Structures are given as structure tokens and as C-alpha cells.
A and B are shown apart, each in its own frame.
Chain A
Amino acid sequence: MRMHRRTLLALAVFTGLTAPSMALAADDTIKIGLLATFEGPFTVLGEDGERGAMTAVAEMNGTVAGKKVEIVKGSSDASPDSAVRAARKLVEQDGVKVLVGPLSGDEGIAVKDYAKTQPNVTFINGTSAAQDTTLRDPAENFFRFSTDGAQWMAGLGTYAFNDKGYKKVATVAEDYSFPYTQVFGFMAEFCKAGGHVPSKSWVPIGNKDFSSVIAAIPEDVDAIYVALGGADAVNFLTQYQQGGGSAPLIGGSITVDQTVLTSKGKLRDVLKGTPSAGPTADTNDAPAWKTFVEAYKKQPGAFPSPSLFAHGYYVDMKATLLGLDQVGGDVSDGGKKLRDALSKLSFDTPTGKVSLDKNRNAIADIFLTEVTEGADGNLMNKLVKVVPQVNQTLGIPEDEFMKLGAVNRDNPSCP
């Protein structure tokens, strides 16, 4: 009997606690879910993603179509199942109809698959940049206004071969879909130009000790292409410096991002002069970019310059808000009107014009950069060249591009 009463009490308390979150949003607010990595190895990246998203919200003064924007945060740890768990929580418990996120490659593919089971919810990507999130088997309600990892590499392979004169390059990258996509993007151009990649090392995400991997890189390569993120990149670069590594580096987009460039320690020395490419360049002179940097810096804990995560989340959140504005904030029809508006949306971002292709993947400008030390001692990505309006098939006709096959550890290959 006593047990029974206790159980009832516990149930009552539990209901009391969960009820408020079940309550429907009031008419004058719009709930937007924000999914990013607020835990695990990509915590810094996720936090900067949030700053970017909040910059977009602040730009609209926190309102859209006269309704107040309410951001509900969901946290993942960069693993696909944690991302789906967080997305489910946002959609099924918090009742969001619009969700922005996630951050990392495998997460994007998992959330895209989840999106198929929730046709009335509109998903807009964060910064996840695996190719197959939108290229193969896309979801009708998943939109990516940020570009993918292969697009980010536009121009880099040719630049490394022609301007830098690297003929043989070894690659070191994490073992999941986003780095596969980045290596694909780099090699697509580099191999076509006549370069060779004799050795590819795939390391588990969250690996700490890279010294054995570094030792296994052939000694006769001209440069090493590194596509590692966050703490992994910091560890690799530090150990490369400690081990007296001498081959120059080529950076994946997130390897020479502000999340890594602002790290403390001696790794700065090996990074200077590293060429890379990505959706942003720190020394971009365009007025729109400068305005964005100023707005971004108002966010608490901001980096000297927004990382590509801040940029990606900003662009996707901005697109979301513009779309919502066009439909008057009305998602009562299961978001159909919103999705129509998003599909046709084309707008000017701090990094140039963005529009979507038929798979709802962005076509945008890509920036070729090189790491330099700024006047204030911070490391910066100096703009070398802008590659205008890169599409997902990298300018190759679609049927030809699809024949290249899905990206994985062994594809592409040019030893």
C-alpha cells in the first residue's frame, strides 16, 4: 500500500515536471530547435555554431513576422545516435516544427534519415557537410544552405599542384563521412591535375596519440593533407611539431578553422603558410562579411573571427528565419508553405549569394585561403582566391559525377 502511494506520488511529480514542456507554444511565439554538439570532442565547435545562429536571431531582433522567436537547444556529442536522440527530444517532446542542425557529418546523415519519419517537421542543416546527406537518397524536408565538404575544397587541389608544386601528397583524416567527403573534394582536383596520393591514413575520431600515425607517413611526400577537427587537429599538429615534422601541410576546412587556430601552444608554428579552402576567409574585405564579423563579436565568448561553424549556423538560421518571414510564421499546415518558400529562397549572405539545387543543397562561393599571423598575433586565414558559385557536383555534369561513386576510405584513389 505504502509502495503504491509512493509510486503515485512519483508519477504525479514526474507529470508536473514534464507538463510545461509539453504545453503548446503560445500563438505569438515560434519555436525553433537548435541542435549542435554541446558535449564531447566537438564542444568548442558546437558553441561557436550557437553563436552564429544567435547572431542571425539577433539580426532579426528576435522576432519573425511579428512573432517572438524561441530557441530550444538540443545537445549531441558528434555521434549519429546522440544527434537523433537530441532531434527526437526536440521534435517529439518540445514540439518544435522547425529544427536547425546538426553540426557533424555522420550526424547529418542520421538526422536526414530521421527527417523522413517526420514529414511535418522542417529540418535545416547546421554545418554537417557529408556529401550523401543531400546527394544520394535525400529527404524532402531536409535543407542545406551551407555547402558540403567536397565543395569546400574547390580550388585547393589545383592550387596545391600548380602554385605550390606538390606532386605527391599523403592524407591524414578522421574515419567518418565528412573527412571522406573532404579528401574526395581535394583529390578530385589534385589527381586530375596529375598529382598522386600514395598513402591515406584514417584515424578514429577522438584519437589522442598520433605519433605512430605520423611515423607511418612515407618520407618522400611533398606535403601532408590533414583533415582533422577540434581536439584531434590540435593533438596531431602538436605531435607533428614535437616529432620534428618537416613536410608542409595542406589543411582541411576545419583543420585551419578558428576553433583550431585559437588553441594555445606551439602548434602555431607548423600552421603558418598552410593553404586550405572553405566557406569563409578571415581576411575577406567584403563589407557584408565585415558587418557580419562585428555582429558576431557581440556574442559572448566569440573568437577573433567567426569559425566556419558560426558561419554555417548563421546562414542556415538566417535562411530559416527568412523562410518563416515569407510565410508569416505559419507552420500550421505541417510546414508545406515554409518548405516551398525555402526551396525557392535565394539570398545574399556575408559570403555571397546562396541558392539551392534540386536536392536542396546550397550553391555558394568558396574561398581559397592561407594561414598567416595577423597584426594582433592571432592566426588568420588570408584570402587567396574566391571560387564563385560552386555546386555539389563541383561543376562536373551530374551523371558523370554520380559515376565517381559514393565517397569512402578507398574512393577516390590515385597512388
Chain B
Amino acid sequence: MSLLEQPSSSSLSAGGMTRRQAWGLVGLVAAAVMVWLVFAVWPDWLNAILISKKAFVSAILNGITLAGLYFLVASGFTLIFGLMRNVNLAHGSLYLLGAYIGYEVTNHTGYWLLGVAAGFAVLAIIGVVMQVFVFRRLEGDDLRQTLVSIGISIVAADLMLAVWAGGTYQITTPEWLDGALTLPIITAVRSNGVSVFLTYPLYRVVVLAAAIVIGVGLWLMLNRTRVGMMIRAGVDDRAMLQASGVNVHAVFAVVFAVGAGLAGFAGVVGGSALSVAPGEDVRYLLASLVVVIVGGMGSITGAAIGALLIGLAEQIGLVYFPTYGIVLTFVIMVVTLAVRPQGIMGKAR
């Protein structure tokens, strides 16, 4: 080996980043740009392009909190749909029913937290009932499950219309969740040198925090506990799990209860942030379908990533190109299906 060759080979190893490193670098640059966009005071030309810093940062924050809400609904959906191969197209109805129950309980007792708890508990029970009386009978029969759950969602929508009529309900949040937070983000500087800080509704921050806590909790449950182990084992090989003495049906009933309960919980939380009206069921079913398809079925992490993408796309689209904003969501879905059909975090089976 001559001395001349050495520098070239060492420069090759230094310059030849792995693919992973290259992506890491791109990510780092993107993160730096993002941090600059959020915290720096914008020059005029940037304000001219992106309407205003306030609009841009609010759209990002709203996208993230909306993602939190979508994640709450979609995590239940992904648990049932992905892990149990159980196609439950009535998931949106569970959301709406949870919202109505939350409204009634909050209205009668005056305690919002009680409404949230009731939304979770009642829907968890309904979830178990659906699993035991309907889906257990159709195990492994995808088409019939789909048709039956569509049927349930139509009947449920009409029953809810009969009980709560077509009005728009607003679940009243307690005083301590009202008001706005002043964030340490300067949106503009007035001519007299006073900085204008961004204010953001406190309630939305709470929604986001709840979504993160629940997401981490679900992930820990699935990956670190005995029940989670049983759920994963049951998905991979049900017969084997059963042979080792585990009551598979009980495990699946638990999963269904958690999934449906989360939908109900999301209904109350979402109904307080936005509003409750007929038609919400279909909207959230569609949102969670898209989130689960983009994120990958059965993956909690995937649901989080999918929700984040869809939430951001929806809000940024709404501000910058409202007429075609809805297309953006589906472009993301189409691209995902074309490039990675199993979803971003999905396993190819």
C-alpha cells in the first residue's frame, strides 16, 4: 500500500456518510429552520409570503393540537383494526356517542371531569358489548364485520338524531381551563418597541398534553406489560396463545373496551374544543381511517405520526389554500400508499 493512497481512502470514509446520517443531517437542518421560524422576529418579506408570523405559528400549533385529538380517536381505531383484524366502521359513532354522553353528564352534574370519565366508561362498556355480541360471532369474516359495523353506524346515527336532534352542542369547559396562555414567542414588534407575544388557548394545550400522556401510556402497556404481551401474542398466533392457557376472548374484549373507551374520551374532549353535531361521526371515522392508513396499522407510534401529518396538513391547508386544503390530506394518503403501502410504521405481512 503506497502512502499516496491513504489520504484518499480516509477522505472517502469521512465524506461517505451513511444514508442514515444524511437523513439525520437533513432533519437537523429542518429542525433548525423550524426553530428559527418560531422564535425569530420575522423580516417583512417572510411576513409577506406567509401572511403573518401569528398566522403561521398558530397554524402549526393548531395542527399539532388537532393531531392530538385525531390521535386519541385513531389510537383506539388502530388497536382494534390493526391488532385484532377487526374492521369496526362504527368507530366514529362511538366518538359521537361519547361526546353526547359527556355533554349530558357535564350539563347535569356541572363537573366537566365527570363528563370525561363518563364518556370513557360508558363507551368502554358499549365496546365490550359490541365485541361479545356482534364481532365475536363474525371472527375472521372481514366482509361481514365491515357490513355489520356500517349497519350499526347508520342505525346509531339515526338513533342519536332522534334523541339529541340536529342541534349543535357545546360542552362547557370548567373555569380553570378557560382563557389563553401567553407563549414566549414574539409575533411582531410594535413601532414603539413593545413586543407582541403569541397567546394560545389553554384548553388546547391540555388536549395535546392528554394525547401525549395517553399515547405514551398505550405504548408502555403494549410493550412493557403482561397484558400488552398477551395482546401482541394473540395477534400473531391466537391458537398458540390459547393453548398456553390464556383466555383469548377476554384479552380481545379488554382491547375493544380500551379502544371504544378512548373514542368516547376523545368525543368529550373534542366536543369541548370544537362542538358536537350530527355528521361528526363520519368525519372522525374518515380522519382515523386516513391516519391509520398513513401511519401503519396496529402501530401506536404510526398513529401518532399519521395524526401529526394529517393535523398539520389540514390546518396549513386551511390558512394558505383553503379551497384545495382538503386535497392535501388525500395527497399524503396517496403518496404513502404508493411509496409504502403498509404505512409509515406498518410491518409488511
Name A's B-contacting residues (CB within 8 A).
Answer: 38-41, 43-44, 46-47, 175, 201-204, 206-209, 211-216, 218-219, 230-231, 234-235, 238-239, 242-244, 263-267, 301, 409
A41 touches B51 (CB 8 A): no
Given contacts A212-B62, A216-B51, A263-B168, contact A203 B277 (CB under 8 A): no
Task: Confirm or deny: B184 has a beta carbon within 8 angstroms of a beta carbon on chain A.
Answer: no
Q: Which of B309-335 contact A (CB under 8 A)?
A: 314-316, 318-319, 322-323, 325-326
Max count, chain A CB within 10 A of own CB: residue among B161, B275, B279, B315: B275
Min distance, Cβ A171 to any Cβ of chain B, angstroms? 13
Tell me, yes or no, whether B180 is within 8 Å of chain A by CB.
Answer: yes
Please provide the chain B residues from 12 to 55 with a CB less than 8 Å away from any CB of chain A in the complex. 51-52, 54-55
Q: Find out whether the CB atom of A44 lies under 8 angstroms from the CB atom of B167.
A: yes
CB-nearest residue of chain A relative to B311? Answer: A209
Q: What 10 A-B pairs have minimum CB-CB distances, sorted nearest first? A: A43-B166, A215-B58, A265-B170, A216-B55, A231-B168, A212-B59, A231-B277, A234-B168, A208-B274, A242-B201
Residues of chain A lying within 8 A (CB to CB) of residue B188: 219
Q: What residue of chain B has the Cβ atom nearest to residue A45's Cβ?
A: B166
A201 near B168: Cβ-Cβ < 8 Å = no
In the assembled complex, the Cα of A214 lies from the Cα of B52 at a distance in Å of 12
**A-contacting residues of B (Cβ < 8 Å)?**
51-52, 54-55, 57-59, 62-63, 66, 161, 165-170, 172, 178-180, 188, 199-201, 203-204, 274-275, 277-279, 283, 314-316, 318-319, 322-323, 325-326
Rounded to whole angstroms, the CA-CA distance of A47 and B161 in the bound complex is 12
Chain A residue, CB-CB nearest to B54: A215
Q: Is the CB of A206 within 8 A of B201?
A: no
Q: What is the bound-complex CA distance between A193 and B174, given in angstroms?
A: 44
Q: In the complex the two chains form, is B166's CB within 8 Å of A215's CB?
A: no
Residue of A nearest to B274 (CB): A208
Q: Could you give 11 example pairs across A and B, Cβ below 8 Å?
A: A40-B278, A44-B165, A202-B322, A209-B62, A213-B318, A215-B54, A215-B55, A216-B55, A216-B59, A231-B275, A235-B275
* A238–B278 touching, CB < 8 Å: no
Within 8 Å by CB of B170, from A208, A230, A267, lies A267
Contact B169 A264 (CB under 8 A): yes
Best-surrounded residue of B54, B200, B322 (most CB of chain A within 10 A) = B322
Contact of B315 among A212, A218, A231, A264 (CB under 8 A): A212
Determine if A216 and B325 form an interchain contact, defined as CB atoms under 8 angstroms apart. Answer: no
Quick check: A230 and B54 within 8 Å, CB to CB?
no
Docked Cα-Cα span, A208 to B66, in Å, equals: 10
Judge whether B322 and A203 touch: CB under 8 Å: yes
Determine how close the nearest CB of chain A comes to the CB of B173; give it in whole angstroms: 9
Q: Tell me which of B52, B166, B167 contacts A263 (CB under 8 A).
A: B167
Most buried by B among A202, A204, A214: A204
**Docked complex Cα distance between A206 and B165 (Å):** 18
Contact A212 B199 (CB under 8 A): no
Complex contacts, A409 vs chain B, CB 8 Å? 323
Residue of A nearest to B170 (CB): A265
* Contacting residues, chain B, for A243 (C-beta < 8 A): 180, 199-201
Closest to B178 in A: A242
Q: In the complex, which residue of chain A has the Cβ closest to the Cβ of B58?
A: A215
Contact indicator B277/A41 (Cβ below 8 Å): yes
Contact B54 A175 (CB under 8 A): no
A234 near B275 with CB under 8 A, answer yes
User: A231 CA to B318 CA in the complex, in Å?
Assistant: 18
